Structure 1
């Protein structure tokens, strides 16, 4: 199980994938907003989105799991 974690505290601005989507290494899956900056989060490995733990507008802390791949 591969996890995508928040790289910093912020608000989930955009969720770009849905459960069941196939993603490629380097693909942006979530965009966080922190201090008026957009921070794209990319997957390190290819896989299938198993679950998404956040919704747009949610506040997250650094290290929170945002989604899981299988």
Structure 2
């Protein structure tokens, strides 16, 4: 089984976590939402699987390109 890193595409704050660790995700399903400059940008899973790790929580700041979780 391979793992896929979930990365933030913008610098901002984690506004909402939509999938808890252990939850199933589908391709292109949003796992969390990052708020940046009053815009909501979803962090999507590119592959189906289970959310193995989440490195952030609601309210945390994230940087562009930061790994925020793993799907496997």
* Root-mean-square deviation over aligned CA pairs: 0.7
**What is the CA distance between 1:50 and its match in structure 2?**
0.4
Unaligned 5+ segments in structure 2 are none
Q: Normalising by the residue count of structure 1, what TM-score does the alignment of the two structures yield?
A: 0.95
Q: Please list the CA deviations of residues 10-65 of structure 1 after superposition, one character each: whole Å capped at 9, or x if unmatched.
A: 00000101111111001111100000111112111101110100000000001111
- Other-structure match for 1:31: 33
TM-score when normalising by structure 2:
0.93
Consecutive unaligned residues of structure 1, counting only runs of 5 or more, are: none
